[in-house]
Structure 1
């Protein structure tokens, strides 16, 4: 069935349902403007803690005087209510009245006839005593100078109320600082660590598993995934958060205990995002934001603009919202690199060095990397809500990220003939320093232009009738990453000369890269050594359908039954074409001065680089690649190209059933028991070289599996101040798309033949999970959460190596296998402390250990600590955030190449917001303030050897926002 037909069928169903849904006028007991009914399951609590939960649930502001509500307790209540009716039930035995205002609800003391209410008079004279106790997540908020602290306290209250183990962030906190990067805005949540690229938040890891093992949803649907085209890497299933603008998001929930009603594709967490919608704003709104952004090492003129316009009908039944954003960023990254440390003699041999000593496999380089990123995005949302019983929502999102990337590099080839080292130093079995009399040096230029586009369209209908709530939603999503301009690589070589390098061993080494003298490409004898082009196109397209039904019972102990079916169909295609000019073609081209460009890389790697590099570098110019590579035809595919390309058709079908119950004796207990049936089928097609054959062989592989996935979530109120949460579940993660490819990539060096490829027979990874969390809020200024978790993983994918015959020659093949079963366990703590009326400290930490065998997972630190100090008072808000991550496994390599690790990271940011008026806000944000290089290393013979240094300078952004 085509995608168009899906939408036609759904539209017909919506019209049919709408024709039977009554449009009921509000009774006299309701008040004009009340929000639609919501299902609630609220524990006994205090009114102070309950109001933020209700404000978030009903998406509106609730205002009350702190002294009025501080001593009021509320009973447990379940059912479906409009907000006004629910508040009447909760406050029926109190002396509090409910009043509707334009921006929400006000709770105030009741006034008896003929009696002057002294408290009311006092409030008029001291209006600052009125404070917002609940922050709605709508984009239409008034001048909220307490966005961060309200988000922290509201998040903790929501965490207390939910049966799931989760963390959340609302819109007011998301847009409080001028960053446009979505990962950076919710990276302070406990249990989450951010993987950054050029200083930008890119993907997230959660408590023991990496980015590919998380489920990312937008309005309940799985999103398509973009690739990393720049250096030919693939993200698999890891969602790139840099392609989705933060301005289009209403709220984010990070659910750490697997949910049976969410499509299975992750063993880590479900990252559920909700988009902004017009009816939550309840009135017309125009918002415009402009600013500039700059980097310490890059350019400082990077403009940014964002706008939003919403329209709501007078009867609050129709709403339209459009938003658009555009911003640029110029980034410079300084890079010192060594390549593939292997045993001496494996790919080449250095005289005098032991055969077992690890040496950098033929390259050491210094590189200036520049990237210009242009982001453009638009979103559209339509809502029709003729009554509180029916709503129709349509959403469309489009974003485009265009990257202009340039690498300018000088590299030394240690495998130069007769390049025996002298004055060399071996530490921890590695050649950490050496001098050479004669080494070939090359200057290189890599350029490319990539476009990453995302498009998602959604249509959904919700029906509330009596005790039933029905949801039907369909989505079409696509992500395309491609080279708009080819990845072009050219190198110019000079005559050999003396060269030395020094790593000194250890993570704190000050490295040195020292040619003597530094070459001059125009004056010295130079020739064109290499020219190649590459094109890549990756598309990820899919259609999904979600249907859910919920029945509120409130009879005996059973509160709610819910069940549903979800389905998605995805098509993944990856195509790569390579071209390299042969030696004869290069020899026919006369070297000209126009092939050389000069650059001035000031302050290269700051204080972490010992070598005094020249202030002016000479590197190949773009005219060189245009001269040689202009006739590259990416429609012609070689055997190697076909081996790297593949297509995957994936179908995922699921069904779930869940029951929610509550027990009041001997203590309040909420229990959720669910069961999910999951079916996964993949059809992989591609080409691989076969034994003794030098022609491509087409291969197809079909895999289908089904699973039963139970889950239990329990919430126990130990006292008025403390509660306990328990979760046990069985979850899945599907194999990475790149790991499923059937092809092989062959690399032949002197005497060594290497092969790498995927494995289309991989099966999903299974995880059995147990979590226990304790939450305490016994002090009005302190909230504490502490928990432990255990994951037993089976069939985890790891790189395994074996020797096979290809073309009648032995090759060392590295490919992924479901080869590891192991356990990870850890603990997580979170504390919020109100130091004063204006100051809040939030701290969280996660500690992870391995059980069974020594096991590492890529991009997951052993521990992580975060601290946020927030000051918010009147019109001024300020925040300082520190994020420290332990060392982690960055890339797992096959033998004999050591794994690459990333050393401890420290990330410091600061934000400042000043409200000039209720409608005008000025913001200032500074990121990466420590401006320290990332240090990559490997471990060998009981020690650590530095492998790479990367440095992106501090980033500063200023912004001015206006609301009308």
Structure 2
């Protein structure tokens, strides 16, 4: 039994920030408050609310767009004379008023809807207006996509919707977006919250939230924050993604929508379907009309598809005679994927000063996958075009149903109590990934003296003699079955208190708060390894592939041979004794429970000096990590419990500036600090000791790892062109400490006599910097019919520098690398057109190559990169009536493959092809 504990701080230090944050705000109780507020609504002559009208204060740089209820609001105003402007151009109305200290003034407007048709929030232009308005008024650097904007692209999940934003790209699984990268940083380095509460990760060992679990139909908005304020969790280096679901107060009165969709996968010639429904309404249950709101959303989609694959994993020998292939797998996937999403949200607003809300989410992602593979191994390496080399070929089956679920409940409240604002939130989230008794590998082997060859290093598809494709020549070697359950749960609560103060004609808001988070990550696996089956009563043809062979595999890249039938394998397994085939090592070593407790407190101040707004403060986070797992000593064939721990704390100051030269031109600057804790795989308590005492080999997690810490610098300039246009440019720089990578510690202090000691370590400082550009414009100033055009484009250029080290004959060596998952260039382009009958949008998403894996510490020729990826998508909508819309979507029109390579683009690591997918559907609302 071992125990590792590092970095424990004195108890008094750990308590001080929590008490300090509350005490500073409480000391302001005796100070005078004089902030004012102006609210109101914009309606048509019949009294119906108008959404999307621009309302501004003359001399102020933050205009607003009215919401679905026609409502607008300006808070934190100093006492004085104001001129209020509503509408645009010659159709603008103006009203003057004076507000006094602590006064809430109400100013309403009545506008002719025909005069403001250019700002009504409908279609592509309206969706763009809503998103840009949120970004324009933000105190920090954010990117927003509203529900309407999400619906303008053919995206099926939250990850794919995020890829359209500036600085964001996605990592795909089987052609579908799954994980999100922000400014080129790995998904593990970005936080994801749902209605402000942290979402855990379903996958064992990871912090990255797989966003393909969440259907896009459940989303109200997506907000990516690139510069954190002190009242936000600090755990992101690239950005924090907040997913907001629908509230009844986002709509004016009752809202209903029903979606029915069918899809066709060209690769497998399979059909899929989707049904989704949304309902929201408001009711009177207290003193005010419509003070209670309820919003419900449900989505269920089934998609049948597949892919063809050939991958080496980087198993090449490099030498003077050219690359020699050591191992390659040809794979055929058949997949049935089902997404179920449910959300129920409730709001109670008994008066203008108080609100209570409840947000819930249930999302289930089920993947039924059958994978047939041909695995070819060449001991001495196989040269291109050579057919004289011997090799061992294994035909393998993997068949499993992997189910991921995410559940979240968030209860919160907000209250204005005289001069104070108080908010609280309590949340519970749980993510789980199960793989019940999946066939991890059923392998049938055959050896060949010669006759195996391949003709391309990019797609090294193996061909062979007739025996290569004959099922009767392959003998059953082993079957591995896995039952796994990974779970990540989180309980969190926060309390925030703020007050507005008036100091020498400056409105100052002081805000502080505390947050606690209790997270538990666990993994439990049971492995069965069925070998030497002849000794367990299996005989005759049951020991060859002939008894388990099915139809010919339809493999795009060449001849494949028969598939292995999973039901035949399951019949064989049912006849064997499971208890006699348990693999004790794999069933124990990967089991762990990790507790991560985080206590946080912050203090921040927000102030305005005319057109300049500043947000400054500091956040403190204290982390306690405890883990329980297993160590296996192979020389003594002994398991022992292993308990590990690590404590550390971080102070994270920040300051952000927003200067509105005018209502259309905004300058921003920020200095912030953030951190990312190591992944659960990296701090896993598991420890494997092999070999002998003279030259042992070990592989283990490192719970003593320190978090990545980043000092972030951002500047930008934004020019807003009307309500539906923006041109912006920004620069960012990140100085990152404690870069984490996998290393061999053999020969270093504490591991002098080890032959191998593989774990994760903190590296030296690294840096990432780049530039972001964004342009979007609805061209409504053009003559008809061209005034329906809309164009948007964004581009992010990023560069990173990091280094890794290793021992060579006792000398420490280093080499420079890029950050894993960091693309130097990412970008999106979209061209849209709409009128009252039709809406079209053609879009392209691009990311340049990036490092996915360090193949060998001392040789860059074995590093694995993903090739650049460019995908084209298209959506067309036809408006049958005000409440009925039909649509057609085409995804991956250009049939872009997934390709990774080892060192050189000519040396395959993985090539996978998916084909386009087409969808057709109908939306019905207002019923």
Q: Do these two structures clear the TM 0.5 threshold for a shared fold by scoring above it?
A: yes
Q: What is the deviation of 1:626?
A: 3.4
CA 1:258–1:29 in structure 2 vs 1: closer, same or farther (change >3 Å)?
closer
Is 1:313 matched with 2:299? Answer: no
1:738 to 669, 681, 689: 681
Q: What is the deviation of 1:617?
A: 3.2
Q: Distance in 2 between matches of 1:934 and 1:500?
A: 26
Is 1:569 matched with 2:543? Answer: no
**Residue 213 of structure 2 corresponds to which residue in structure 1?**
243
Is 1:469 matched with 2:421? Answer: yes
1:796-875 map, 5 Å: 796-803=739-746, 811-835=755-779, 836=782, 837-851=787-801, 854-875=816-837
Partners of 1:594 and 1:623 within 8 A in 2: no
SS at match of 2:792: strand
SS at match of 1:133: coil
Stretch of structure 1 that moved more, 179-188 or 878-887: 179-188
SS at match of 2:682: helix
1:694 to 618, 628, 637: 637
Q: Distance in 2 between matches of 1:219 and 1:154?
A: 19
Is 1:368 matched with 2:358? Answer: no
Is 1:932 matched with 2:896? Answer: yes
Is 1:589 matched with 2:539? Answer: yes
Partners of 2:42 and 2:70 within 8 A in 1: no
Is 1:767 matched with 2:710? Answer: yes
Partners of 1:891 and 1:901 within 8 A in 2: yes
Q: Distance in 2 between matches of 1:727 and 1:557?
A: 21
Q: What is the deviation of 1:711?
A: 0.7
Partners of 2:57 and 2:63 within 8 A in 1: no
CA 1:74–1:334 in structure 2 vs 1: closer, same or farther (change >3 Å)?
farther
1:303 to 265, 273, 277: 273
Partners of 2:485 and 2:524 within 8 A in 1: yes
Q: What is the deviation of 1:659?
A: 0.7
Q: Give unpaired runs (5+ residues) of structure 2.
A: 1-37, 74-83, 804-815
Q: Distance in 2 between matches of 1:882 and 1:776?
A: 24
Paired residues, number: 841
Partners of 1:799 and 1:894 within 8 A in 2: no
Partners of 1:732 and 1:767 within 8 A in 2: yes
Q: Distance in 2 between matches of 1:709 and 1:29?
A: 38
Partners of 1:693 and 1:807 within 8 A in 2: no
Q: What is the deviation of 1:365?
A: 2.1
**Residue 137 of structure 2 corresponds to which residue in structure 1?**
161
**Residue 624 of structure 2 corresponds to which residue in structure 1?**
681
1:478 to 410, 416, 430: 430
2:879 to 911, 915, 924: 915
**Residue 225 of structure 2 corresponds to which residue in structure 1?**
255
CA 1:708–1:527 in structure 2 vs 1: closer, same or farther (change >3 Å)?
same
1:267-306 map, 5 Å: 267-306=237-276
**Residue 568 of structure 2 corresponds to which residue in structure 1?**
623
CA 1:87–1:570 in structure 2 vs 1: closer, same or farther (change >3 Å)?
same
Partners of 1:44 and 1:73 within 8 A in 2: no
**Residue 119 of structure 2 corresponds to which residue in structure 1?**
133
Is 1:203 matched with 2:201? Answer: no
Q: Give unpaired runs (5+ residues) of structure 1.
A: 1-26, 89-97, 100-106, 109-122, 136-143, 228-233, 345-352, 426-432
**Residue 529 of structure 2 corresponds to which residue in structure 1?**
580
Partners of 1:45 and 1:76 within 8 A in 2: no
CA 1:172–1:321 in structure 2 vs 1: closer, same or farther (change >3 Å)?
same
1:402-413 map, 5 Å: 402-413=366-377
1:283-342 residue CA offsets vs partner (Å, 9 max, x unmatched) = 233322111122111343211111223342142012223222211111201100114426
Q: Distance in 2 between matches of 1:455 and 1:756?
A: 34
Is 1:537 matched with 2:485? Answer: yes
Normalised to the residue count of structure 1, the TM-score between the two structures is: 0.80
The alignment's C-alpha RMSD in Å is 3.7
Partners of 1:41 and 1:79 within 8 A in 2: no
1:168-197 residue CA offsets vs partner (Å, 9 max, x unmatched) = 011112234564311112311100111111
**Residue 713 of structure 1 corresponds to which residue in structure 2?**
656
**Residue 9 of structure 1 corresponds to which residue in structure 2?**
none
Partners of 1:718 and 1:724 within 8 A in 2: yes
CA 1:367–1:637 in structure 2 vs 1: closer, same or farther (change >3 Å)?
closer
CA 1:473–1:781 in structure 2 vs 1: closer, same or farther (change >3 Å)?
closer
Q: Distance in 1 between matches of 2:41 and 2:129?
A: 30
Q: What is the deviation of 1:396?
A: 1.8
**Residue 559 of structure 2 corresponds to which residue in structure 1?**
613
Q: Distance in 2 between matches of 1:747 and 1:623?
A: 36
CA 1:29–1:364 in structure 2 vs 1: closer, same or farther (change >3 Å)?
closer
**Residue 785 of structure 1 corresponds to which residue in structure 2?**
728
Q: Distance in 2 between matches of 1:532 and 1:781?
A: 57
**Residue 701 of structure 2 corresponds to which residue in structure 1?**
758
**Residue 669 of structure 2 corresponds to which residue in structure 1?**
726
Q: Distance in 2 between matches of 1:781 and 1:319?
A: 30
**Residue 957 of structure 1 corresponds to which residue in structure 2?**
919
1:141-188 residue CA offsets vs partner (Å, 9 max, x unmatched) = xxx3x2x33233433333222220111011112234564311112311
CA 1:34–1:756 in structure 2 vs 1: closer, same or farther (change >3 Å)?
farther
CA 1:746–1:671 in structure 2 vs 1: closer, same or farther (change >3 Å)?
same
1:576-618 residue CA offsets vs partner (Å, 9 max, x unmatched) = 222212225478433247633334444x44xxx4xx426x534
1:703 to 632, 637, 646: 646
Q: What is the deviation of 1:65?
A: 6.6
Is 1:880 matched with 2:835? Answer: no
SS at match of 1:459: strand
Q: Distance in 2 between matches of 1:892 and 1:78?
A: 64
**Residue 400 of structure 1 corresponds to which residue in structure 2?**
364
Q: What is the deviation of 1:637?
A: 6.5
**Residue 508 of structure 2 corresponds to which residue in structure 1?**
559
**Residue 868 of structure 2 corresponds to which residue in structure 1?**
904
Stretch of structure 1 that moved more, 488-497 or 403-412: 488-497
Q: Distance in 1 between matches of 2:88 and 2:663?
A: 19
CA 1:753–1:527 in structure 2 vs 1: closer, same or farther (change >3 Å)?
farther
**Residue 439 of structure 1 corresponds to which residue in structure 2?**
391
SS at match of 1:761: coil
1:11-26 map, 5 Å: none
CA 1:795–1:645 in structure 2 vs 1: closer, same or farther (change >3 Å)?
same
Partners of 1:278 and 1:321 within 8 A in 2: yes
Q: Distance in 2 between matches of 1:617 and 1:28?
A: 71
Q: Distance in 2 between matches of 1:780 and 1:206?
A: 26
Q: Distance in 2 between matches of 1:688 and 1:717?
A: 59
SS at match of 2:376: strand
Q: Distance in 1 between matches of 2:614 and 2:636?
A: 61
Q: Distance in 1 between matches of 2:56 and 2:438?
A: 57
Q: Distance in 1 between matches of 2:170 and 2:70?
A: 28
Q: Distance in 2 between matches of 1:831 and 1:360?
A: 46
SS at match of 1:154: helix
Normalised to the residue count of structure 2, the TM-score between the two structures is: 0.83
Q: Distance in 1 between matches of 2:720 and 2:310?
A: 49
Partners of 1:53 and 1:134 within 8 A in 2: no
Q: Distance in 1 between matches of 2:199 and 2:647?
A: 22
Partners of 1:444 and 1:620 within 8 A in 2: no
1:656 to 602, 616, 620: 602
**Residue 27 of structure 2 corresponds to which residue in structure 1?**
none
Q: Distance in 2 between matches of 1:46 and 1:149?
A: 24
1:762-786 residue CA offsets vs partner (Å, 9 max, x unmatched) = 1111000100101123688852110
Q: Distance in 2 between matches of 1:696 and 1:807?
A: 21
CA 1:702–1:365 in structure 2 vs 1: closer, same or farther (change >3 Å)?
closer
1:932-959 residue CA offsets vs partner (Å, 9 max, x unmatched) = 222211116xx85222211111111222
CA 1:219–1:30 in structure 2 vs 1: closer, same or farther (change >3 Å)?
closer
Partners of 1:571 and 1:647 within 8 A in 2: yes
